[in-house]
Amino acid sequence: MEDSIAFVIVTFNSGQTIERCLGSIASQGLSRWQIVVVDNASSDNTVEQIRATGISLTLLQNDRNRGFAAACNRGVAATSAGLIILVNPDARLGAGAVEELRSALRSDERIGIVGPRLASPDGELLPSAYRFPTVFQELAFLLRLKPLLTSRPFRWAFGSVLASRFGQFDPHLRRRRVDTIVGACMLIRRSVWEMLGGLDESFFLFYEEKDLCMRAHDAGFWTVFVPEAHAVHEVGVSTRSNELAAAIAKRMSMMRYYSKHKSIAANIVIRAAILVTTFSHLLVEALAVATGRLPRAELGYRLRRWRPVVREALSTMRRGESGRAKPGPFSA
């Protein structure tokens, strides 16, 4: 049963990359495999591009954007293979990558999830494995400190301290157990997937793979990084078309993850940081309206879009406990 592999791909306005993704799968030279693509109501030519490849696959089309996790679960439910590999449409598998991942998974029955070494299209190493999210990591992201922390002077002075907190500091050269891998490409045993109940659909976009790896860890399974397997990741091609929605979805999923897995104190710190940075961002945009650089109507639109984030963070702060709100839809 574990000789067979099901590839599940979720697309959303992925017309620029899906052909290359499918081509890289077809060129793996596997004997028993299937591909299921779930399209989240793309408004570009994604579906036409998929059909034009002529590759044998199953295409499932959602009538609306149901989110990444829900679409993944639908795709996996349409398969029967013993191994499931989730692949982003902006990822391309390197030669022999699937066999390397499958071999690693078979090497120890305690391994439940494996992932490859990721690189950009120009060959630059991309962070492929991390520790589970920490307050330090999230504050660096929310306060936009990551470019500073990953700069050459900081690498020289504090590299050993920061190496355990940011994937960018690890050379990604050796196979090892990790907390979580990047969800652009991950191979999972079906038995583990079914035991965990798949992805948590309350994560509309972002953090769903971190949550899955956390739950696998809690169930006694290992997540392993496999540098012998390579993949190219054109980061954020789909989200780039709607960066505002992506930013909102990330913060909602961040709060969901912390409400599910972290302490009350950590929740309060994260939500306070989200509130401060959101209000600061909106203040800058209000000043842009005052100086004529941003239309007033556009500011009103953005205020409406950010309202669920503020509401969720404030409600949690008032309760002093974890929130349970479901992230809003990733749509225009």
Q: What is the mean pLDDT of residues 149-168?
A: 64
What pLDDT is recorded for position 331?
Answer: 41
Check residues 319 and 59 and name the one with the higher pLDDT: 59
CA dist list (Å): 44 to 49, 145, 289 = 10, 34, 31
Residues 6+ positions from 25 with CB-CB distance below 8 Å:
7, 33, 35, 55, 87, 93
| 331, containing H or E segment | none
Q: What are phi and psi of 147, to 5 degrees?
A: -60, -35
Per-residue pLDDT band for 332 (boundaries 50, 70, 90) equals very low
Per-residue pLDDT band for 293 (boundaries 50, 70, 90) equals very high
Residues 6+ positions from 241 with CB-CB distance below 8 Å:
13
What pLDDT is recorded for position 323?
Answer: 43
What pLDDT is recorded for position 320?
Answer: 44
Q: What is the mean pLDDT of residues 74-80?
A: 97
Q: Picking from 159-168, 202-211, 215-224, 273-282, which range would have the lowest pLDDT averaged per residue? A: 159-168
What pLDDT is recorded for position 326?
Answer: 44
Tens digit of pLDDT for each residue in 44-64? Answer: 999 999 999 999 999 999 999
Helix (H, G, I), strand (E, B) or coil at 240: helix
What pLDDT is recorded for position 318?
Answer: 54
What pLDDT is recorded for position 102?
Answer: 97
**Model pTM?**
0.91
Tens digit of pLDDT for each residue in 132-143? Answer: 999 998 999 999
What pLDDT is recorded for position 183?
Answer: 95
- Helices 243-261 and 296-319 sit at what angle, rounded to 10 degrees? 0
Above pLDDT 70, what percent of the chain?
A: 88
Q: How far apart are CA 202 and CA 69, in angstroms?
A: 8
Per-residue pLDDT band for 237 (boundaries 50, 70, 90) equals confident
Task: Please say if the pLDDT value at position 324 is more than 70.
Answer: no
